[in-house]
Structure 1
Amino acid sequence: MPHKYTLEWIDLVITVTLNPKKTDVSEITDTQIEAILSRVTDEKEKLESQLKHQVFGLTKQKQIELLIKQYHSALIVLLDQAFENQNNCPAKNQALKNLNKALISCLDELLSFIEVRFNQYLSLEQRVPVTYLLVSKKELQKKLNKLKETLVEKVNDQQFIDIVLNPLYAFINDLKENPEVSFKELLYQKELLKELELLENPEKEIGVYTALNELLIYLNFNSKAYMDYFTKKLAEKTNSKETITEKMDELLIHYKVFNQLHRKPGIVLNPQYADLKTALGKWFKHELFYLEKKRHLAIMPMDENAVPVTTKDIKKHKILSMLSVDQMALILRSADDLKILIARSMNAIFKTIVPHLSTPHQVDLSYDSMRSKSYSAETRDKEIVIDTLQQMIDKIQEY
């Protein structure tokens, strides 16, 4: 059963009543303008409600997708016409100009409603029509100016405010003649601005992070400036602790909470940059690995037979490993299992290689002891080995 054309009233107003090519708009009275203006908000709310009912009344995904795309396309066409009406409006008729502005704002809000509520049915990689992009930027500009005032009052860090708002200003002020902006990029900017507006207390600490930080992490705000700022603040907190153990505990708490924070899937500020979770996760791992190595070097093992390594020992054909015996055992065992190193047996691999290795605390290592430890690895040793191998991968990629 075909659906009724719910855009009929707003379509008629924009394409006929306020269209200078079809109507002598100078004849429209203030009373008529006021009547149309008073209905615009109600019409927007009614259209949103009707669209939701129509979608929920359908059972097939293809039908829903077709309906959403039809509404989206129709609203963009109407927005183009409304924008043209505004440009051709008599300069002295301020009431008519205000009415056109209200209709443009109404259409922009309806489009935003569809893009947020039903974005899974839209082709978000498609390019945004120039008129719609221009209108959206003007709406964003008005909201952004108000938001900046609010953030200045609530956030006592101008650098942080600039880092958060600069990408929005850069997007709005992009003066390229034919900007290649996708609906996905536009939707991100709109959602970011909307969420920032809804943030009542940006500096309120929820756990170890502020509400503003939690929001930016949730929205995958992978600005390089933000990631530098974020890691600098964490480094300052960590370095304020006295001992290496305290520093590790501080960083581990932040890392644990970071991993538990919610993230909205499928969105990102800068698609060409690394994902925020990936980039910051790597930073956490590298910093923890560094502290782990410092702690390992700072503590002597409780082994009466262990002999500390000296520079003289290293020169005696020994290779000094910064990994522990347990960690080296894991690497050799995995190399045998994957047949990266091939010998008569795993025992032969340990027997051949281990005599040439040493650690910062021990010159002579027992190959038999190391082989035994490869079967009882601790979780922390596994993590350190995995992180070490990842750093090797990163280094190889730089070559």
Structure 2
Amino acid sequence: MQHQHYQLSYFEKLIRVDLKNVPATQKEPDSKFFAFTTTDVINQKESMLQSFGRYLYDLGKKKQVGWYISMHQQQLVLLLDQMATYLPEADVIDSEISLTDITWFNLYKIIYLSLSELLSFLECQFARYLDIDCKVPSSYLLRAKNKFFNDVEKLKENFEETVIEKRLISIVFQPFTDFVKADQTGLLISYQQLYFLKEMGDKLSELLEDVDDGVDLTEKVKDVLLYLNFNSVEYFHYWTETINAEIDNLSTIREKLDRLIFLQKKVSQAIAKPGFIFKRLYAPLQSQLLSWLADEIMYQKEKAALAHGSHTPDELGRWKDFKVLTGFSVPQLGNIIRLLVDNGLYLNKNKTEVLDFFSHFFTSVKQDTISAGSLRSNFYKDDAAVSKAVRNILTDLIKSSHK
């Protein structure tokens, strides 16, 4: 990006050089200087408003457009915050100016409002290219603080009058409370964080407007928080503790698993607002809840297996590649199994399952893997030579048992 396309050079020089030490030497600005500077500031602002779109159209490439917009956004925020240090708090959020009141404060305010208009233009016309991790100007924080203090406090009171779990109310409104009570000096709030709080306040207000009296809002608020990706640590703990308490009150493992699987389905199919998240460094709420549910479902299944004397998945995995090595031929093994089944020593009713088991977990003298079909064929086959060989094996075993 060439330097001549950077459009804030005039304002940077004016704020950081021309006006830096002048107020210390002059109580009030000279009328000619005031008139010239205010006219120049307004002209520069108007020129930038007209040239932004034209230049970006010529630029073309989305990557360069995004870089160009975010660069000017960040610099405008820095210049606005620098100018805000020269103004009383009331003037930072007040948009009224006088072009005839020749004072340093008024000149600062004219510059401040011109920069604010430029930033607002970028936010409205090029919202998709904004850097959402960029800190917002101090004026945004002051306005938001006043709005949250009045509107959100009233909203919280309205929720407290409805049917809803009180702990959930406390968790939901904690970010607003922290924001309002925090010292704004040095507080870094990004566009993304401020957007999130505004959207969350709007969604909670909409929820109150659409609900009938006496309806429990707990689940509806949870749905809103999942939609907005409210991945607060406190809320995650609240959600999992609530589900644990609910599961503990169910009598059977089947009931517990049914409830957990239903919640897994509900959470996985929930729609989340694209690009929204409360804490960008944490995993999305949906991912956290699904991971927890998967672990809990596995725990309940293993618990059920242990309670019924069954094997856990880990225990079954131990026998995945296990084989009993034998010195039998496949015909001999089939014949021996038939003897044991026909004489009631193996009590399984399903012969096919028995044969499949032996083919999977036993080897023959010549084969590490026995075909289930081959073993089944030899099980039903009458072969005098094989029968004689098996009798010899059994005779040797009987003799061995007498030693």
Gap change, CA 1:198 and 1:82, over 3 Å in 2: same
Normalised by the length of structure 2, the TM-score is: 0.52
AA partner of residue 239 (structure 2)? F
**1:153 is the counterpart of 2:164:** no
Question: Is 2:152–2:201's contact at 8 Å kept on the other side of the alignment?
Answer: yes
**Residue pairs, 1:82-231, within 5 angstroms:** 82-87=83-88, 96=97, 100=109, 103=113, 117-119=128-130, 122=131, 124=133, 128=135, 134-145=138-149, 146-154=151-159, 156=162, 157=164, 158-171=166-179, 173-175=181-183, 181=188, 186-199=190-203, 200-202=205-207, 210-231=219-240
* Structure-1 separation of matches of 2:219 and 2:315: 40
Structure 1 equivalent of residue 288 of structure 2: 279
- Superposition deviation, residue 166 in structure 1: 1.7
Question: Is 2:81–2:138's contact at 8 Å kept on the other side of the alignment?
Answer: no
* Structure-2 separation of matches of 1:216 and 1:143: 21
AA partner of residue 129 (structure 2)? F
* Structure-2 separation of matches of 1:70 and 1:295: 59
Structure 2 equivalent of residue 253 of structure 1: 262
- Superposition deviation, residue 279 in structure 1: 3.1
Gap change, CA 1:275 and 1:224, over 3 Å in 2: same
* Structure-1 separation of matches of 2:287 and 2:303: 24
* Structure-2 separation of matches of 1:201 and 1:233: 25
Give the unaligned 5+ runs of structure 1: 301-308, 310-320, 337-345, 350-365, 374-399
* Structure-2 separation of matches of 1:173 and 1:65: 34
* Structure-2 separation of matches of 1:259 and 1:66: 35
* Structure-1 separation of matches of 2:152 and 2:89: 31
Structure 1 equivalent of residue 368 of structure 2: none
* Structure-1 separation of matches of 2:185 and 2:83: 21
Question: Is 1:75–1:111's contact at 8 Å kept on the other side of the alignment?
Answer: no
* Structure-2 separation of matches of 1:198 and 1:50: 35
- Deviation string 1:299-327 (CA, Å, 9 cap, x unpaired) is x6xxxxxxxx6xxxxxxxxxxx6516xx7
- Superposition deviation, residue 291 in structure 1: 3.0
* Structure-1 separation of matches of 2:356 and 2:315: 13
Gap change, CA 1:177 and 1:23, over 3 Å in 2: closer
Gap change, CA 1:221 and 1:59, over 3 Å in 2: same
Give the unaligned 5+ runs of structure 2: 98-104, 212-216, 326-353, 362-403
* Structure-2 separation of matches of 1:370 and 1:170: 67
Question: Is 1:168–1:189's contact at 8 Å kept on the other side of the alignment?
Answer: no
* Structure-2 separation of matches of 1:188 and 1:135: 16
Equivalent pairs, count: 296
* Structure-1 separation of matches of 2:276 and 2:219: 21
Gap change, CA 1:51 and 1:280, over 3 Å in 2: farther
- Superposition deviation, residue 173 in structure 1: 4.3
Gap change, CA 1:77 and 1:274, over 3 Å in 2: closer
For the aligned residue pairs, the C-alpha RMSD in angstroms reads: 5.6
My pick for the range that moved more, 157-166 or 289-298, is 289-298
- Deviation string 1:85-110 (CA, Å, 9 cap, x unpaired) is 523999xx996599959938767756
- Max Rg structure: 2
AA partner of residue 62 (structure 2)? Q
How many percent of aligned residue pairs carry the same amino acid?
22
- Superposition deviation, residue 53 in structure 1: 7.3
* Structure-2 separation of matches of 1:367 and 1:109: 78
Structure 1 equivalent of residue 357 of structure 2: 369
- Superposition deviation, residue 288 in structure 1: 1.7
AA partner of residue 75 (structure 1)? L
* Structure-1 separation of matches of 2:144 and 2:62: 32
